Amino acid sequence: MPRQLLWIGYCTLVSSLLATACFAIPDHGPTRDADHGRVLVNRWCVSCHLVGTDQKQATTDAPPFATIAKNPDFDAAKLAFFLLEPHPKMPDMQLSRDETSDIAAYIATLK
């Protein structure tokens, strides 16, 4: 009997891990690549946002990414989702799901 119980416990664990992974990564692709995200923000976001630590000034009232990362409500998955829609005052950058996930992963490193 204890063997069976172990097995059930194992299955429960694995399926909850899978559920978590599916929730965090809505589409596909195993990696959320913060390095790629940094490249993307330096291309797309740097003109308005403070995107990292070595940039002193941004040109607009857009919130610095470090501020966004430190927000207690910060959630990388939500941020990635938010970025799929252009925000007001921002050009529509047509980012893919992978790109928004990478950007969110990068911003998460600024905490």
Question: With respect to ligand HEC, which residue has the nearer C-beta, 27 or 85?
Answer: 85
Instruction: Name the token pair of 54.
Output: 């070595």
Question: With respect to ligand HEC, which residue has the nearer C-beta, 25 or 93?
Answer: 93
Q: Are the CB atoms for 21 and 13 separated by under 8 Å?
A: no
- Residues in the site for ligand HEC, rule: CB under 6 A? 41, 44-45, 47-49, 60-63, 68, 79, 83, 87-91, 93, 103
DSSP letter assigned to residue 73: T
Q: How far is the CB of 106 from ligand HEC (least distance, A)?
A: 9
- 3 by DSSP, 3-state: which? helix
Distance CA 86, CA 104 (A): 14
Question: With respect to ligand HEC, which residue has the nearer C-beta, 31 or 71?
Answer: 71
Instruction: Name the token pair of 82.
Output: 């938010």
Q: How far is the CB of 98 from ligand HEC (least distance, A)?
A: 13
